[in-house]
Amino acid sequence: MMKGQNMDIFEAIANRHSYRGEFQDKPVLRKDLEKIVQAGIDAPSGCNAQTTSFVVVDDPQLIAKMAAIFGDRPVCTTARAIIVCLADSTPAYGTTSFDREDCAAAVENMLLAITALGYATVWYQGYVQQNGNGRKIAELLGVSDLLRVEVVLPIGVPLTNELPRPKKSLIDRVSFNCFGR
């Protein structure tokens, strides 16, 4: 699919995949970044607490500093924008916080928006949680100690046209009315 052509939701779901390669030297438009982040904002959240907030980085110098934190992986060094998802673990229901679930819902909406707009990304979470990387990113971006860097999404126009990995079939993963039937 060519950049600039929007796709329907089911096409975006089918085409979404984790892209770890290099990006083309083309900008990610600010209006597209706003659409992507709005998709995250529009995600459901537990008790409507809206615990996820975002820092959109499109300054090349900041991107380079973030890429260094990630060990200069090509998907980060060539990214034209990076969305940093922040979680607020304040309880929303009694003593329960839904911050991880809220963030995951926001990220999935953004992944689909990124795909629909013709860009690519990879969901970085595990690496963010290791070796204080999340804290390093938070310090770089001036994020409050009350928030946690949960997910990082490097974004750009993919250099290579990769296809999603095959998924197991519906018959292998779904049961109706009783497991295993």
Q: Which of the pair, 117 or 171, is modelled with greater confidence? A: 117
| Mean pLDDT within 49-57 | 96
In the predicted structure, residue 106 carries a pLDDT above the cut 50: yes
The pLDDT of 2-12, averaged and rounded, is: 72
- Provide the whole-model pTM: 0.90
CA distances, 30 to each of 33, 155, 164 (Å): 5, 12, 26
Query: Residue range 99-112: average pLDDT?
Result: 96
User: 9-159 in CATH: which number?
Assistant: 3.40.109.10
Give residue-wise pLDDT tens across range 166-179: 888 888 888 888 89
Q: Where are the domains positioned within the chain?
A: 9-159
Percent of the chain with pLDDT over 90: 74
